[in-house]
Structure 1
Amino acid sequence: MGGYYGLFVLVGVALLLMPVQCDVNCRGTDGHAGVKGAPGRDGLDGAKGEKGDTALRADGPVDAAFLLGLRGEAGSRGLQGDMGPKGYRGDLGAAGHPGTTGRHGPDGVNMGDGDQNLQQSGSAFSVMRTETSYPSFNQIITYQTTVVNHNGHFDAVTGQFTCNIAGVYYFTFHSFAKVSICLNIASDALPTKLGFCDYNRNSDQVLSGGVVLELVVNEKVWLESFRDQQTNSESNDNREKQIIFNGFLLFKTAG
């Protein structure tokens, strides 16, 4: 019985090993397309390529220095940039060469001989107003102290200098007050009065002015106060004030 069972097993195995034939009706169903996969990662950079050949000219190779020296076409003008900060002051340069000698000046005016003639040829004054009252507007200023009055050409009572020696003169004034004061330099030799003002309220006020005039005999020069922006309280001020008026002859003229 055991022999028959072994034969049966061998016959079954042989049947399984035999080729199986199938007609067209036993074909399976076509499968569906698979889902698209996710994009892959970027690949690694490739190796650096070899250096190219040197560019060629009609008469031979061109080196790198020549290429850098080639000038391109000019571009359009750009907008002006912002001004930069002021630079540091440079060092003082070396002294220049001496200039040529200038022309001779005109001959001087004969001032006379001897001490007496020298004294009579000069003209200079310096006077001071010390009153604390505000100087009246559009009035000639008078003075209480005479510091210098060479040859007596200035009248401290009238406040006027009278020319006795024709020539070129320099006149100047200085004033000090607790309020603003405006002063004119006036003269027969001037077509208009020269006004000076400087406002610095609530503190000491200092004002100065000067002029060079060419005068002939009997022409006069004086100072006047005038109103500009002064307040009524300023024009009524009685605190300390000083006005100094000076003048002197620079040189005589033929006039």
Structure 2
Amino acid sequence: MGGYYEMVVLVGVASLLTTGQCDASCRGTDGVPGVAGPPGRDGYPGAKGDKGEPAVTGNVPVDVGILPALKGQVGSRGPQGVMGPKGYSGHLGPTGAHGAVGRPGPEGESILHGGQLSAQQGGSAFSVIRTDNRYPPLQQVVTFQTTVVNKGQDFNAATGHFTCRVPGVYYFTFHSMAKVSVCLGIQSDALGEKLGFCDYNRNTDQVLSGGVVLKLRLGEKVWLESFRDQQRDVETRDTQDKSIIFSGFLLFSDSE
């Protein structure tokens, strides 16, 4: 009896083993993809590569010696940089040439002294020109045809005399141009003798000039006078172009 039951158990086990096997079409459910792992560490630097080939233009190798001379296109202008610090002063250069003489300045303004015009401000100045081509008559006062300046009306062009209205120190000067010899002298009541000037540069335009500083009192006169020295008679009859300029002005009055 016990042997019968053992036999039944073995047969049941065998039956279970036979029915538990799957055929070739039997497969399980796909699994879910796993989560990405953390990044790995950087690898070690690789070895330096070999030198590249020279650049080519039109399939022709370019000489590496001329590469520095090749220029690319000009780029756009960048923004202005910050101003740098002020540099040191350079060495002083050489003195330049003198410029041309400027024009005379405007007449000065009046200066009042105690509400009255000073003698200096009311001053005296003149400049006149003789344009007569005749030789100035010898031993006579030179007269003039053109008045350029006559401040104070102290010069009489018709008589050739300057008459002192403001006592003080004056400067007088003259210039003449002629094609023959001319002698001129500055005469004055304030002079003990005539100041004579002559020029004997033959066969060319002759320029003569002279000047003097005089201290004049009220009413004293100053004038130019022609005189003979070594001039020939033919020269005193000359009628070629001539000009004489006579000028004078107050330097400072006695009241200053």
Give the alignment's TM-score, normalised by structure 2.
Answer: 0.54
> 1:112 deviation in Å?
2.8
The aligned length equals 146
**What is the match of residue 137 of structure 2?**
136
Unaligned runs of 5+ in 1: 1-109
**What is the match of residue 161 of structure 1?**
162
What SS does the corresponding residue of 1:121 show, helix, strand or coil?
coil
> 1:163 deviation in Å?
0.2
Question: Distance in 2 between the 1:111 and 1:199 partners?
Answer: 49
Question: Distance in 2 between the 1:139 and 1:184 partners?
Answer: 10
What SS does the corresponding residue of 1:234 show, helix, strand or coil?
helix
**What is the match of residue 217 of structure 1?**
218
Unaligned runs of 5+ in 2: 1-110
Task: State how 1:101-116 maps to structure 2 within 5 Å.
Answer: 112=113
Question: Distance in 2 between the 1:234 and 1:205 partners?
Answer: 13
What SS does the corresponding residue of 2:187 show, helix, strand or coil?
strand
Q: 2:177–2:243: 8 Å Cα contact kept in structure 1?
A: yes
1:126 pairs with 2:93: no
Question: Distance in 1 between the 2:162 and 2:146 partners?
Answer: 15
> 1:117 deviation in Å?
5.0
Q: 1:202 to 1:113 in 2, by over 3 A?
A: farther
**What is the match of residue 195 of structure 2?**
194
Question: Distance in 1 between the 2:221 and 2:124 partners?
Answer: 13
* Percent identity (aligned): 63
Q: 1:140–1:158: 8 Å Cα contact kept in structure 2?
A: yes
Q: 1:112–1:118: 8 Å Cα contact kept in structure 2?
A: no
**What is the match of residue 234 of structure 1?**
235
Question: Distance in 2 between the 1:175 and 1:208 partners?
Answer: 6
Q: 1:252 to 1:142 in 2, by over 3 A?
A: same
**What is the match of residue 245 of structure 2?**
244
Q: 2:183–2:198: 8 Å Cα contact kept in structure 1?
A: yes
Amino acid at match of 2:174: F
What SS does the corresponding residue of 1:233 show, helix, strand or coil?
helix
Amino acid at match of 1:211: V
> 1:198 deviation in Å?
1.5
Q: 2:129–2:245: 8 Å Cα contact kept in structure 1?
A: yes
> 1:121 deviation in Å?
2.3
> 1:118 deviation in Å?
7.1
Amino acid at match of 1:218: G
Query: Could you list the per-position Cα deviations for residues 111-165 of structure 1 after superposition, in whole angstroms to 9, with x for gaps in the alignment?
Result: 7367965785210000000000000000000000000000100001110000000
Bigger drift between 112-121 and 244-253 goes to 112-121
Q: 1:169 to 1:236 in 2, by over 3 A?
A: same
Q: 1:120–1:151: 8 Å Cα contact kept in structure 2?
A: no
Question: Distance in 2 between the 1:115 and 1:149 partners?
Answer: 22
Q: 1:111–1:118: 8 Å Cα contact kept in structure 2?
A: no
Question: Distance in 2 between the 1:213 and 1:112 partners?
Answer: 25
Query: Could you list the per-position Cα deviations for residues 46-94 of structure 1 after superposition, in whole angstroms to 9, with x for gaps in the alignment?
Result: xxxxxxxxxxxxxxxxxxxxxxxxxxxxxxxxxxxxxxxxxxxxxxxxx
Q: 1:181 to 1:114 in 2, by over 3 A?
A: farther
Question: Distance in 2 between the 1:113 and 1:254 partners?
Answer: 14
Question: Distance in 2 between the 1:241 and 1:154 partners?
Answer: 21
Structure 1 runs of 4+ with >4 Å offset: 113-120
Computed over aligned residues only, the root mean square deviation of the Cα atoms, in angstroms, reads 2.1
Q: 2:134–2:239: 8 Å Cα contact kept in structure 1?
A: yes
**What is the match of residue 209 of structure 2?**
208
Question: Distance in 2 between the 1:192 and 1:111 partners?
Answer: 38
Which has the greater radius of gyration?
2
Q: 1:111 to 1:134 in 2, by over 3 A?
A: farther
